[in-house]
Amino acid sequence: MKERYYSIDIYKLIAALLIVSVHTVLFWNYEEGTGQWYAAWMLMAVARNGVPLFFMASAFLLYSHQEDRSRSQTRRLLTLYSTWCIFTLPFILYTYYHLFSKEGYDFLQLLTYFFKQFFFIGLCGGGWFVLSTIWCIWIVKYLAPKSSVLLWGLSLFLYLLSIMDSSYYFLLGQGMLFNEVRTFFGSFCNFIPAALLFFVIGKTFAEHKTWIPIWKKHRTKLYVATLLAIGMNVIELGWCIQSGYVGSTLRTDSTFSLPLSACLLMATSLTFNLKPRQIYRRLRNCSTMIYFIQFPIIRILFAIGIRSWTAYLLTLVLGFTFSLLIFFLEKKFKQVNVLY
C-alpha cells in the first residue's frame, strides 16, 4: 500500500497563508527604518518559501505514483485554471478595459498582453502557478529520461534568471537582451524560471523516499538547519533591500538562499507521522481555494483602501468562509469541486 504523507496537506495550507501575507503585508507601505517596516520585510522573506513549497509538494505527489500521470494531471490543471478564469472573468475583463481606456493600449498591445497571460503568466490571479506547473510537467517528461544533468542544469540556469528578475534586478538584470526576453515572457519570477528547480526537487524527493527515515532519525538537526536556512534567507533579502538591488520594482520573489530553506522545509514536512483523517484532504483543498480566491478579494480590499494586516486577516476570513461554502455546496452539487 502506497504511503500517504498527510503532513504535506498541512504544509500546503501554511504555504497558502504565507502567500497571502506576501500580497497584503507589504514592507514598502511602512516608513523605512521603523519596526513595522523591518517586521514586514522579514515576514515577506519567510513567506517567500510558500510558492516553492507548493511546487515541490505538487511534484512530490505527482511522481509518488508509479504510472505516468502527466496527461491526466495536465487535464486536471487545465480544468482548474479554466474554472478560475471563468469565476474571476469580471476582474479579467476590467483589467483589459483599464489597459485600453486608461493606459492607452491599442489592439496589438492588448493581443500581445493576452498572449503573455494565456501561455505564461496566467489570465486569472495566481494562474501562473498552474501554467508553470504544466510547463514543468512536460519539460521533465521530455528531459528526465534523456539526461538528469541537463534537467538540473536547465533548472539552475532558469532559477538564476528568476533571481535576476527580482531581488537582484538592479545588480544583475540590467542587460538589454535580458530585459527584451523578460518582456516577451512577461516575467521570469512568475513563470517557469521560478518553478522548474523546485519542481525537480519535489520529483527527486518522490524518487528517493529512502531519505525520509534518515531525516526522521535526525529530525532535530533537520529542524535546526531549517531555521538557520530561513534566517539566511531573511538576512539575504534584507541585504538586497538595504543595498537597493530590489529597487523600484520591489520584487523579492527569488534569492540564492531560498532553494535551501524551501528544500529543508519540504524535508521537514515528511518527518511527521499522521494518522489518516478526512480533515487533511479538506485542508489541501482549502489551500487551493484560498490561493486563488485571495486575488479578487485583495483587489477589492485595496480598491477601497484596506491594506496591510487588516487586508491580510480579512482575506483569510473571507477565503476560509468561501472554502466552507464550497464544501457545503459540494454535498448537493459535486461539480463545484472543479474549484480545487
CB-based burial label for 311 (10 Å; 0-12, 13-18, 19+): buried
pTM of the model: 0.93
Would you place residue 242 in the very low, low, confident or very high pLDDT band (cuts 50, 70, 90)? confident
Does the pLDDT value for residue 182 go beyond 70? yes
Q: Which residue has the higher pLDDT, 85 or 172?
A: 85
**pLDDT recorded at residue 2:** 58
pLDDT at 170: 85
CB atoms inside a 10 Å sphere around CB 318: 18
Single-letter code of the amino acid located at 289: M
Query: Is the per-residue pLDDT at 250 higher than 70?
Result: no
Q: Give the per-residue pLDDT at 172.
A: 76
Give the pLDDT mean for 20-40: 87
| Sign for the pseudo-dihedral over CA of 180, 126, 84, 142 | positive
Q: What pLDDT shows up at residue 186?
A: 80
- 85 alpha carbon, distance to own chain's centre: 17
Q: What is the pLDDT of residue 158?
A: 95
The answer on pLDDT for 65 being more than 70 is yes
- Cα–Cα–Cα angle for 14, 17, 22, rounded to 5 degrees: 125
Percent of the chain predicted with pLDDT > 90: 72
Please enumerate in sequence order all residues whose Cβ is within 8 A of that of 40, keeping only pairs 6 or more positions apart, or say none.
25, 26, 27, 29, 30, 308
Give the distance, in angstroms, between the CA of residue 121 and the centroid of all CA atoms in the same chain.
12
Q: How many angstroms separate the Cα of 336 from the Cα of each of 128, 267, 296, 323?
A: 22, 33, 18, 11
Condensed to tens digits (0 to 9), the pLDDT of residues 69-83 reads: 999 999 999 999 999
Q: Is the pLDDT of residue 58 over 70?
A: yes
Does position 1 have pLDDT exceeding 50, yes or no? no
CB 114 within 8 Å of CB 105:
no
Residue 252 pLDDT? 86
Lowest-confidence range among 161-165, 173-177, 280-284, 305-309? 173-177
Tell me: pLDDT of 3 over 90.
Answer: no
CA distances from 242 to 31, 65, 178, 239, 245 (A): 13, 45, 24, 5, 8
pLDDT for 99 equals 94
**Which whole-number Å values give the CA distances from 338 to 63, 85, 207, 277, 333, in the listed order?**
22, 12, 29, 22, 11
pLDDT tens-place string over residues 203-216:
999 999 999 999 99
Kindly tell me if the per-residue pLDDT of 18 is higher than 90: yes
Mean pLDDT of the chain: 92
Amino acid at 305: G
Cell of 7: 503532513
